[in-house]
Structure 1
């Protein structure tokens, strides 16, 4: 029996696409590239993005917008760490935030020393955080309890 394109276990209208995005460059990546042990430093547990990381966010945001993908995204799930939230909000958040009483910012200005303007929560998919999305759940346990 020959199968054609589009035939699968479930009808396509019942399927969801899942896109996985790794966080942009964080300050921990810079030192970790020089010395792998730096990744275990408690100073980098909740590292924010570097300027290069923000440039990567801007580039991905442009791609997501120009490809029309932003119209198809229904939900964004991020780990609760600063670098992943900055990446998720920077890529999938709404356009420039203007101070309106009925719309809250997804990210306040200069979050994580980013020198970035606030990002709006309007016209974007819901963004939630989930602890189990972290790369390492207990890697810093011994550092926190010594």
Structure 2
């Protein structure tokens, strides 16, 4: 069998009618650190809707540098994320417009220190639209880290994100 590289040629649809989908997992969350040591830690209420760790933010910064340097950011038409703190932080950190300047950029994607991040506000300027969709959640389960805040809380912390595809109710299944 030949090498599995994609060979240009005729396909089902012309390339100009196709979209490329990139899937990005959230960066390291606080729940991941203790959960890796002891799986039962995922049951701790301390990790409700877990935010990113400092290492997680470093991972976000590294991915952003790659996305910008490769020119990918200019080709992204839309970002879809789950409505959980760590995924929202990852999405805005990677695909956001950089530092927010009040009264210049419109609404920020993320306000300063959202989710105890210690980060400044992130701009929506030159950023693709970001939509939070309930069905993008990894799990609906008993672990507090997989449960979330109310959408109104997120709308305050992430004002430029579209939450129309996320349920207004807090889902705790």
State the TM-score, normalizing by the size of structure 2: 0.76
- Runs of 4 or more, structure 1, over 3 Å off, are 138-141
SS at match of 1:18: coil
Question: Where does the alignment leave 5 or more consecutive residues of structure 2 unmatched?
Answer: 1-6, 148-170
State the TM-score, normalizing by the size of structure 1: 0.89
Distance in 1 of aligned mates of 2:23 and 2:105: 31
Query: What is the aligned partner in structure 2 of residue 128 from structure 1?
Result: 131
Structure 1 residues 70 and 123, CA gap change in structure 2 (3 angstroms): same
2:26 aligns with one of 23, 26, 29:
23
CA RMSD, Structure 1 to Structure 2 (Å): 2.0
Deviations 1:8-59 (A, max 9, x none): 1111111000000000000000000000122233332300000000000000
Mapping of 1:7-86 within 5 angstroms? Answer: 7-86=10-89
The count of residues paired between Structure 1 and Structure 2 equals: 141
Deviations 1:90-141 (A, max 9, x none): 0000121001166011100011111101000111000010011011123349
Distance in 1 of aligned mates of 2:49 and 2:58: 19
